[in-house]
């Protein structure tokens, strides 16, 4: 009966540890409960059995449980829950030759305050200085910062 108590405490600790990792990340009641369960199973083994049994239970908790959890999370049991897509896109960088101050184009979508613009037949990311620009509004480049063109709307009033 005493061995069954130790086994149940270890299994409870493993279950609470899996709950901690999968459902409630962070240090919560499940994580603390798993530590208490593991600790009490070690204490129980030392108190009701010989020190050899206590050391065996301690080794099971400190060595076997982490190995078991590693293979559980890296194995096929967790494959359906893992994201395995690769990101192979690149940031659009443009040289000073592509865009320069004074180039004109038009906004594709609404710039609120950032969005897409079409300049010299190509589509770029753009940002305004806090203005909202409606779609298909003529714009002009004020400056470029990295991979973003800073634009302003062109006033047609003369």
At residue 93, the pLDDT reads 63
pLDDT surpasses 90 at 139: yes
The residue-averaged pLDDT of 95-112 equals: 81
* DSSP E strand boundaries for 5-147: 104-107, 114-119, 122-127, 138-145
- b or e along 82-115 (b: 16 or more beta carbons within 10 Å of the residue's beta carbon)? eeeeeeeeeeeebeeeebeeebebebeeebeeeb
Predicted pLDDT at 74: 79
Kindly report the average pLDDT of the chain as a whole number. Answer: 83
Residue 158 has a pLDDT of 42
Instruction: Give the global pTM.
Output: 0.48
| Predicted confidence band of residue 138 (pLDDT cuts 50, 70, 90) | very high
d(CA 158, CA 139): 16
């Amino acid at each position: 009966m005493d061995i069954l108590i130790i086994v149940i405490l270890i299994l409870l600790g493993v279950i609470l540890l899996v709950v901690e990792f999968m459902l409630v990340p962070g240090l919560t009641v499940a994580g603390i409960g798993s530590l208490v369960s593991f600790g009490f199973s070690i204490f129980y083994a030392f108190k009701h059995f010989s020190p050899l049994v206590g050391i065996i239970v301690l080794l099971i908790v400190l060595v076997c449980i982490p190995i078991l959890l590693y293979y559980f999370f890296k194995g096929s049991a967790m494959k359906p829950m893992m994201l395995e897509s690769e990101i192979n896109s690149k940031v659009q960088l443009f040289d000073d030759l592509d865009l320069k101050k004074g180039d004109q184009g038009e906004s594709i979508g609404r710039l609120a305050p950032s969005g897409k613009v079409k300049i010299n037949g190509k589509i770029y990311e753009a940002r305004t200085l806090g203005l909202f620009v409606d779609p298909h509004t003529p714009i002009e480049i004020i400056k470029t910062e990295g991979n973003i063109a800073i634009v302003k709307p062109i006033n047609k009033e003369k």
